[in-house]
């Protein structure tokens, strides 16, 4: 019972591997120390509880007073060793910062030692060994479990096989029966605590899995978005283009694209500054998102150039959609950024030909874009 809760707060789930303490964030080290303090404090309470049970046996005359006194002092001494190591941050050198295997070995050795010292109540100490492994099983790795089980077996074998000392749990007198009952009550209580802790761990892991999935989804989104404009980045929009080409080829449906360029954007940066230029790009992206269909795909192709993928649109509809967008952009009150500012766009529109690759598809849209610029900008040209 004394050591059982020592493993409750969670032992490292990986073999001890040295790491430089300085490499770990201060917040992590502080949290680890707090976890260990809580776990070691519970150990002290556990030793006090089982010590109280031993005092009842002492009162019944079953064991001398030296047994509960020595048990409590030995238990506190063992816990104190781990407290000193914890406060000195020795534990933080290891991946398993609880030092699971050493705690299990120390606490089991203590129980077996007192089993030999007071075999007449030996089952009290054996129940503690059982609880140690019950709690430890929640966090120990398979390697740690095998090592702990082997060491315990080596300790138990001589006691049971090479010793004739009877091991019992006396219940002759009413006081002894009270002590036995208290021993079982504590054992059952801590077993219930194991179940509650396991349930809490499962809920925590369940909640954490959702948090990790949400975080992973967010990371994926960030990896596919242009940081400045919020539009898809070039890698993402090119992947979407390939997907739409494949779908159009498979279904025989039309697919159009538009390469869009903000007219004289370099002049905007030079005259009004790059922060204003960034705001222009963001405003253009927001306006575009607000004026395209949910099935359309919009991304930053590079600099002030953007790619708009228009599924199920032929060249005429695509050109009309882009001309509408061009008018909306031109009519925005850009003077809010700087007096007299005007922003317009030029675009080249192309519709997918049979068996056409993305490279030739984009090349035709690019040629149409250059034609729009050659015509004086602020216009839409079809390939």
**pLDDT at site 5:** 44
Task: Supply the range of the domain harboring residue 260.
Answer: 234-382
Question: Are residues 206 and 245 part of one domain?
Answer: no
Indicate whether 229 belongs to any domain.
Answer: no
* Whether the Cβ atoms of residue 304 and residue 261 lie closer than 8 Å to each other: yes
Structure tokens at 103: 């705690």
**200 and 323, same domain (yes or no):** no
pTM over 0.85: no
Among candidate residues 193, 221, 249, the one where a domain is terminated: 221
Calpha distance 135→127 (Å, rounded): 12
Task: Name the residue with tokens 């060491």.
Answer: 151
pLDDT of residue 301: 93
Residue-wise over 362-371: b if at least 16 C-beta within 10 A, else e?
bebbbebbee
Domain final residue, candidates 221, 254, 275:
221
Asked if residue 289 and residue 154 are part of one domain, the reply reads no
Give yes or no: residues 193 and 247 share one domain: no
What is the distance between the alpha carbons of residues 91 and 68, in angstroms, rounded to a whole number?
Answer: 30
Distance CA 44, CA 90 (A): 20
Q: Dig out the tokens for 81 from the structure.
A: 């060793």
**Predicted pLDDT of residue 286:** 95
Helices (H), the chain: 26-59, 66-87, 100-117, 122-136, 142-161, 174-224, 234-251, 265-272, 274-290, 315-331, 358-374
Contact call for residues 254 and 313 (beta carbons, < 8 A):
yes
Instruction: Tell me, yes or no, whether 247 and 284 share the same domain.
Output: yes
Sort 297 into a burial class: Cβ within 10 Å, 0-12 / 13-18 / 19+: buried
- Other Cβ atoms within 10 Å of 65 Cβ, number: 11
- Predicted confidence pLDDT, tens digits, the chain (383 residues): 444 444 444 444 444 444 445 567 888 888 888 888 888 888 888 899 999 999 999 999 999 999 999 999 999 999 999 999 999 989 888 888 888 888 888 999 999 999 999 999 998 998 888 877 777 777 788 888 888 888 888 988 988 888 887 888 888 899 999 998 998 888 888 777 777 777 777 787 788 888 888 877 777 666 788 889 989 999 999 999 999 999 999 999 999 999 999 999 999 999 899 999 999 999 999 999 999 999 999 999 999 999 999 999 999 999 999 999 999 999 999 988 888 899 999 999 999 999 999 999 999 999 999 999 999 999 999 98
Residue 226 covered by a domain: no
Spatial separation of the C-alpha atoms in residues 161 and 50, rounded to whole Å = 27
Contact 94, 18 (CB under 8 A): yes
278 shares a domain with 341: yes
Active-site residues, by number, are 304
The region, left, alpha or beta by phi > 0 then psi within -120 to 50, assigned to residue 292 is: beta
Query: Would residue 374 count as lying in a domain?
Result: yes
């Amino acid at each position: 019972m004394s050591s059982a809760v020592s493993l409750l707060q969670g032992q490292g789930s990986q073999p001890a591997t040295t790491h430089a303490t300085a490499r770990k964030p201060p917040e992590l080290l502080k949290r680890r120390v707090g976890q260990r303090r809580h776990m070691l404090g519970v150990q002290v309470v556990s030793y006090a509880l089982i010590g109280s049970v031993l005092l009842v046996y002492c009162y019944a005359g079953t064991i001398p007073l030296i047994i509960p006194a020595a048990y409590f002092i030995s238990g506190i001494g063992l816990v104190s060793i781990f407290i000193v190591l914890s406060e000195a941050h020795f534990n933080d050198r290891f991946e398993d910062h609880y030092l699971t295997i050493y705690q299990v070995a120390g606490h089991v050795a203590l129980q077996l030692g007192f089993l030999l010292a007071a075999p007449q109540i030996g089952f009290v100490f054996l129940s503690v060994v059982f609880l140690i492994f019950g709690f430890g099983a929640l966090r120990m790795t398979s390697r740690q479990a095998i090592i702990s089980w082997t060491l315990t077996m080596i300790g138990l074998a001589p006691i049971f096989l090479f010793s004739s000392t009877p091991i019992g749990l006396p219940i002759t007198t009413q006081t002894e029966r009270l002590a036995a009952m208290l021993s079982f009550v504590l054992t059952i209580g801590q077993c219930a605590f194991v179940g509650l802790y396991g349930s809490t761990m499962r809920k925590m892991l369940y909640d954490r899995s959702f948090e990790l999935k949400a975080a992973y989804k967010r990371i994926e989104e960030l990896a596919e978005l242009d940081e400045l404009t919020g539009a898809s980045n070039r890698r993402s929009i090119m992947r979407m283009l390939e997907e739409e080409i494949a779908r159009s080829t498979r279904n025989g449906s039309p697919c159009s694209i538009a390469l869009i360029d903000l007219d004289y954007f370099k002049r905007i940066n030079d005259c009004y500054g790059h922060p204003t230029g960034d705001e222009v790009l963001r405003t253009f992206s927001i306006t575009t998102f607000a004026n395209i269909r949910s099935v359309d795909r919009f991304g930053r192709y590079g600099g002030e150039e953007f790619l708009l993928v228009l599924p199920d649109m032929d060249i005429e509809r695509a050109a009309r959609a882009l001309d509408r967008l061009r008018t909306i952009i031109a009519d925005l009150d850009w003077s809010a950024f700087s007096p007299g500012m005007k922003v317009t766009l030029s675009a080249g529109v192309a519709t997918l030909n049979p068996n056409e690759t993305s490279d030739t598809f984009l090349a035709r849209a690019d040629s149409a874009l250059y034609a729009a610029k050659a015509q004086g900008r602020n216009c839409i040209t079809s390939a």
